[in-house]
Amino acid sequence: MDQLKQQLKEMIVQDLNLPDVKPEDIDDKAPLFEEGLGLDSLDAVELVVLLQKHFGVQIANMDEGKEAFASIESLAQFVDRRR
């Protein structure tokens, strides 16, 4: 699970273009969207594609995504269940 969280953090930093953020500085429980990391709706749809590409995980719609995307922790749990 820790390894998955690390992978997710690296993926987010690299593929969502956050060069000023270090993966290790992302708090597992901190919000990803709006506050915290400050991602937006465009990052959300990009994240859907990235999860599909890197983990084979499909997200049917953004309502489903909303809960999963709350934090690294919730994202890791979501991916772990689905892959």
Residue closer to other proteins by CB (options 29, 52) is 52
Q: By CB under 8 A, which span of 3-11, 27-35, 42-50, 74-82 interacts with other proteins?
A: 42-50
> Does residue number 62 form part of the binding site for other proteins (CB under 8 A)?
yes
The full 3-state SS of the chain, as one line of letters, equals CHHHHHHHHHHHHHHCCCCCCCHHHCCCCCCCECCCCCECHHHHHHHHHHHHHHHCCCCCCHHHHHHHCCCHHHHHHHHHHHC
Residue closer to other proteins by CB (options 1, 58) is 58
- Rule CB under 8 A: choose which of 46, 70, 73, 77 binds other proteins: 46
Q: Which residue has the tokens 């990803």?
A: 32
Which residues contact other proteins (rule: CB under 8 A)?
16-20, 40-43, 45-46, 48-49, 52-53, 61-62
